[in-house]
Amino acid sequence: MYKRFEKTALDNQKKVLDAFIDNRIALRHFSGTSGYGYDDAGRDTLAKVLAQIFGTESALVSPMITSGTQAITLALFGVLRPGDLVLSITGEPYDTLKDVIFGKNNGSLAEFGISFEKIPLIDGQIDTELSIKTIAEKHPKMVYIQRSRGYSWRLALSIDQIKDICMKIKQISPNSIIFCDNCYGEFVESKEPTAVGVDLCAGSFIKNIGGGIAPTGGYVAGKAHLIEQVAGRLTAPSVGSEVGSYAYGYRLFYQGLFMAPHVVCQALKTAALFSDVLQSLNYEVLPKADQHFGDIVCSVKLGSADKVIKFCQAVQFASPVDGYVSPEPWNMPGYNDQVIMAAGCFVQGSSIELSCDGPIRAPYIVYLQGGITFEHGIIALEKVLQYLE
């Protein structure tokens, strides 16, 4: 069951190693800078390494990007202008982006005169016919793709699915920017979305790509002229990516990136194990253990708020950090429902470390992700089974 994950990890590890060697990574790249951060070799070379891995012209990697939501927001505000239209072909965006897009009195896209329309998914899949028809009619400035499932009951998109829709979009609207929210998807397959037609993608360094080692940060990768615009939003249009210091140094970012293919493999094995065992106990799961994994997430439909809470508490009690803490649902910023999260992580909120979460709403689904060692995943599963008895 796990051979497919190990083959992908080997392919990605070679790609990462080649990028390190080709960019002549050395001890000097780990040093920090202060002030403006002019000529910060660690920062600039890390971006070149990521761009090579993703097969893009350019990339922006920064500790100043605090989350995947911020990375996506930078991409949106960086390239969109008043009067532009964004068309999501994967339905509703992730919960934390709704205020970014539609919020009032908060500087949202809507308040800057940027329109955002969405085409609902059909049984968890892109409605290709309606998407292509709408794109041909409206020629949106940006076509928005969310690779992972968010808090919806669907499979993550595969690279082949992304490739197929990108080819169709470029045939009818070549000037539309194809953007992909790549959170939870890095290194799950041997190619990234930018290798199959996506113009711009973004994600967090405390998810897959940081390998459970990077302490913070995020990235945006894609075409050079788009990255230049995004960098102007991160700092200022006059300085872009020329500035931005980080006194603590970059070793953990490089080391985490190097470890990421192996760590993602561990997370995928953990997700498949949970899926296989919980399905055998008659819980609905996505994906099933023998299905394609497009991200590191295993969704489990538990059927009650009590079971969601118990599931998350069990994962927390099996965590190396804050393992004595009992999580409870709360009104988390950016979410419309109460959310419970279990994340006993070395890096706060790190989603590549074993964690799980879910909104307290019917049909009461919990989303498990991460696991930097498969052995930890086995132990956590044993604890979950005890709590679900």
Predicted confidence band of residue 339 (pLDDT cuts 50, 70, 90): very high
pLDDT at 315 over 90: yes
Instruction: Report the predicted TM-score, pTM, of the whole model to 2 decimal places.
Output: 0.96
Structure token digits, residue 173: 């609207």
Tens of pLDDT, residue by residue over 141-165, are 999 999 999 888 999 999 999 999 9
Virtual torsion, Cα 160, 162, 164, 169, nearest 10 deg:
-170
Mean pLDDT of 292-320: 97
Residue 46 contacts residue 29 (beta carbons within 8 Å)? yes
Structure confidence at residue 336 (pLDDT): 78
CA 281, CA 76: separation in Å to the nearest integer? Answer: 42
Mean pLDDT of 56-79: 97
Structure token digits, residue 164: 């197929």
CA 238, CA 228: separation in Å to the nearest integer? Answer: 11
C-alpha dihedral sign at 206, 97, 272, 156: negative
CA 360, CA 373: separation in Å to the nearest integer? Answer: 28
- Nearby residues of 113 by Cβ (< 8 Å), 6 or more positions away: 82, 83
pLDDT at 58 over 80: yes
CA 229, CA 216: separation in Å to the nearest integer? Answer: 22
Average pLDDT, the chain: 96
Structure confidence at residue 59 (pLDDT): 98
Predicted confidence band of residue 6 (pLDDT cuts 50, 70, 90): very high
Neighbour tally for 145: CB within 10 Å: 23
The structural domains of the chain, with segments of one domain joined by +, span 33-255, 261-388
pLDDT at 337 over 90: no
Structure confidence at residue 335 (pLDDT): 76
Structure confidence at residue 96 (pLDDT): 87
CA 322, CA 347: separation in Å to the nearest integer? Answer: 12
Q: 314: left (phi > 0), else alpha (psi -120 to 50), else beta?
A: alpha
Structure token digits, residue 145: 């793709």
Mean pLDDT of 14-32: 98
Mean pLDDT of 211-228: 98
Mean pLDDT of 227-232: 98
Structure confidence at residue 14 (pLDDT): 98
Q: 219: left (phi > 0), else alpha (psi -120 to 50), else beta?
A: beta
Tens of pLDDT, residue by residue over 243-291, are 999 999 999 999 999 999 999 999 999 999 999 999 999 999 999 999 9
Predicted confidence band of residue 297 (pLDDT cuts 50, 70, 90): very high
Percent of the chain with pLDDT over 70: 100
Q: Which residues of 75-99 are buried (b: 16+ CB within 10 A; e: fewer)?
A: bbbbbbeeebbbbbbbbebbbbbbb
pLDDT at 333 over 80: no
Predicted confidence band of residue 332 (pLDDT cuts 50, 70, 90): confident
Tens of pLDDT, residue by residue over 82-128, are 999 999 999 999 888 999 999 999 999 999 999 999 999 999 899 99
Mean pLDDT of 355-378: 96
Task: Please indicate whether the domains covering 33-255 and 261-388 agree at the CATH topology level.
Answer: no
Q: The domain 261-388 is classified under which CATH number: 3.20.20.10, 3.30.1380.10, 3.90.1150.60, 3.40.50.720?
A: 3.90.1150.60
CA 183, CA 365: separation in Å to the nearest integer? Answer: 19
Predicted confidence band of residue 348 (pLDDT cuts 50, 70, 90): very high
Residue 92 contacts residue 124 (beta carbons within 8 Å)? no
Q: What Cα–Cα distance (Å) separates residue 243 from each residue in 33, 74, 239?
A: 10, 16, 7
Domain 33-255, architecture per CATH? 3-Layer(aba) Sandwich (3.40)
